[in-house]
Structures are given as structure tokens and as C-alpha cells.
């Protein structure tokens, strides 16, 4: 089995289930984690699933991933649209990155249309709800060298 894939979640994603259900649905982050663990098992991948509300902690985890992970799936939450620090950390890390969003950020407010993460990601999955995480795992699986 390759080194684990870090599945990193940014601010307010701990509130999934009750947060704006019209936008994000009613699935909790714990349910998404369970589905990710099950799907990763089918792909013969190990995952390390984490959430934080703190930008610097995401930077620390990305730096950790560059040492011990085979790739990164990241939903940076609102930091997607603001964080040069995440951009720089992901770029420096040199690991394959897949960006995921529950909602279709391009169908929402204009301030969500720009991502600092997309230029340093292999690709972006946006708008498929929790299923997007499973699509992201399939994408990262293909990007990890044998």
C-alpha cells in the first residue's frame, strides 16, 4: 500500500449536517469520512482524514503531507478564495493535489469563483456534494506513482 493520502478539510466543514443544508446538504463530515475510508479501502489506499478551522494548521498539515503522504485531497473551505499561504504550501509540497468542493463554486457568488488552490492542484471537483470526495479519491489514486 502506498503512503496515506491526506484528506484535509478547512473552516466550517465541521458544521456540515446543520450548516446551510440548502447549499451543503445534511450529510455530516463524520459520514463523509466513513464513506471515504470505505472507498479508499476498495482502491487499496490508506487515508488520514482531518478538519481544522485554522489556516496555519492546514499549512502545517500540508508540510507534514510533503514528508509522509502520497497525495492530498483538500477542501479548503473559504480559504480557497483567500489563502496565498495554502497556495505556497501546496506548491512547495510537490505532492499530487486534488481540490474538492461540495458546492459548485462557479455557480455561486462571484467571490467564490477564484481559487488560490486550483493553480497548484491537478484538478478540481466541485458541485457533486459528498460524492465529490469519492471522485477525488479516484482521481488522486490515478495520480500516485505505483
Closest C-alpha among 106, 65, 78 to residue 13: 78
Closest distance between ligand DQA and the C-beta of residue 89, in Å? Answer: 17
Out of 24, 79, 116, 133, the active site residue is 24
Pairing of strands 5-9, 71-75: parallel
In angstroms, how far is CA 115 from the centroid of its own chain?
A: 13
141 binds ligand DQA (CB under 6 A): no
Among the listed residues 51, 70, 80, 83, the single contact to ligand DQA using CB under 6 A: 80
51 binds ligand DQA (CB under 6 A): no
Residue 133 annotated among the catalytic residues of the structure:
no
Residue 101 annotated among the catalytic residues of the structure:
yes
Closest distance between ligand DQA and the C-beta of residue 93, in Å? Answer: 20
Pairing of strands 47-51, 5-9: parallel
Number of neighbours of residue 1 by Cβ within 10 angstroms: 8
Out of 39, 87, 101, 141, the active site residue is 101
As annotated, the active-site residues are 24, 101
Amino acid at each position: 500500500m502506498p503512503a496515506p493520502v491526506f484528506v484535509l478539510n478547512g473552516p466550517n466543514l465541521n458544521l456540515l449536517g446543520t450548516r446551510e443544508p440548502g447549499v451543503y446538504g445534511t450529510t455530516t463530515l463524520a459520514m463523509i469520512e466513513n464513506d471515504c475510508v470505505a472507498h479508499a479501502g476498495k482502491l487499496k489506499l490508506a487515508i488520514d482524514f482531518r478538519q481544522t478551522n485554522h489556516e496555519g494548521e492546514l499549512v502545517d498539515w500540508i508540510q507534514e503531507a510533503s514528508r509522509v503522504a502520497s497525495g492530498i485531497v483538500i477542501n479548503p473551505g473559504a480559504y480557497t478564495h483567500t489563502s496565498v499561504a495554502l497556495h505556497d504550501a501546496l506548491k512547495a509540497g510537490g505532492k499530487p493535489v486534488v481540490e474538492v468542493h461540495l458546492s459548485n463554486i462557479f455557480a455561486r457568488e462571484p467571490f467564490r469563483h477564484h481559487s488560490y488552490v486550483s493553480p497548484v492542484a491537478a484538478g478540481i471537483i466541485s458541485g457533486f456534494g459528498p460524492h465529490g470526495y469519492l471522485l477525488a479519491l479516484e482521481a488522486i489514486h490515478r495520480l500516485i506513482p505505483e
